[in-house]
Amino acid sequence: LETALSPSGSDELSFYLVSPVVASETVVNAFYAVLAAAVGIFFYVWWAFRNVPGPFRYGLAAIAALIHDAVIVIGIFAILGVVADIEVGTMFLIAILTVIGYSVNDTIVVFDRLRENVLLYPNRSLEANANLSISETLGRSLNTSLTLLFTLLALLLFGGQTIREFLLVLLIGVVVGTYSSIGVASQLLIAWESGDLRRVFRKRATTTSAPS
């Protein structure tokens, strides 16, 4: 094609490369953005669940699920950077914040139903109310996530190249966020309430301090 259409040679009009300086700035900005979002979400959830016992635990459980989602997405892209030579840019930062918002939204749906059940059935254990709440919101969470996944897949297959990285982050984040809202946040809240976390940390501290 070059010989037939451009015998005198061809000139490259543009070339895009993420420099190490820009990449390091993206990492720092992503950290600060996630930190700011986590602090704001924690205080909001703490205030919204002030009518139930231990409202700060709901906030910390939501933050733990948020961090879980962000770490998994970043880890997958770190692997893809080595395997598929995928570079991250500002679109990656925007997508991470979008994933965080979706994950927290799904987690709050489960927690809100849990709050209603705790107030309606105060004599039930928190474990029983959590199981009931997850069962009541499971269909809604899966239907919402599947609908969004189909849309993202269509955009990923037929959309433009410029938003493909953004869509890939969202695709991974939706799957991870749906799982964390059902299988991480509520379980962490129950483990904290029942004292399982305290026993785990106490056992680990005892094992660490024991002489070899």
Cα 36 to Cα 64, 84, 85, 142: the distances in Å are 14, 31, 30, 28
pLDDT band at residue 101 using 50, 70 and 90 as cut-offs: confident
Report pLDDT digits (tens) over 46-81: 888 888 888 888 888 888 888 888 889 888 888 888
Alpha helices in the chain (DSSP H): 2-5, 20-48, 55-83, 90-120, 126-158, 164-183, 185-194, 196-209
Contact 145, 174 (CB under 8 A): yes
Q: Which residue has the higher pLDDT, 12 or 113?
A: 113
Q: Does the structure show a pLDDT above 60 at 21? A: no
Helix 185-194 × helix 164-183 angle, to 10°: 30
For 100, other C-beta atoms within 10 Å of its C-beta total 23
What was the pLDDT predicted at 67? 86
Q: Which residue has the higher pLDDT, 13 or 137?
A: 137
Q: What is the mean pLDDT of the chain?
A: 81
What was the pLDDT predicted at 4? 76
What was the pLDDT predicted at 52? 82
What was the pLDDT predicted at 191? 84
Q: Closest by alpha carbon to 101, among 188, 173, 162?
A: 173
Q: Does the structure show a pLDDT above 60 at 96? A: yes
Q: Which residue has the higher pLDDT, 8 or 201?
A: 8
What was the pLDDT predicted at 181? 86
What was the pLDDT predicted at 3? 76
Q: Does the structure show a pLDDT above 60 at 212? A: no
What was the pLDDT predicted at 150? 92
Quick one: CA dihedral 146, 178, 171, 165, positive or negative?
A: positive
Q: Does the structure show a pLDDT above 60 at 18? A: no
Share of the chain above pLDDT 70, in %: 83
This prediction's pTM: 0.73
What was the pLDDT predicted at 13? 64
Report pLDDT digits (tens) over 143-202: 888 998 999 899 888 877 778 888 888 899 899 988 888 888 888 888 887 777 667 666
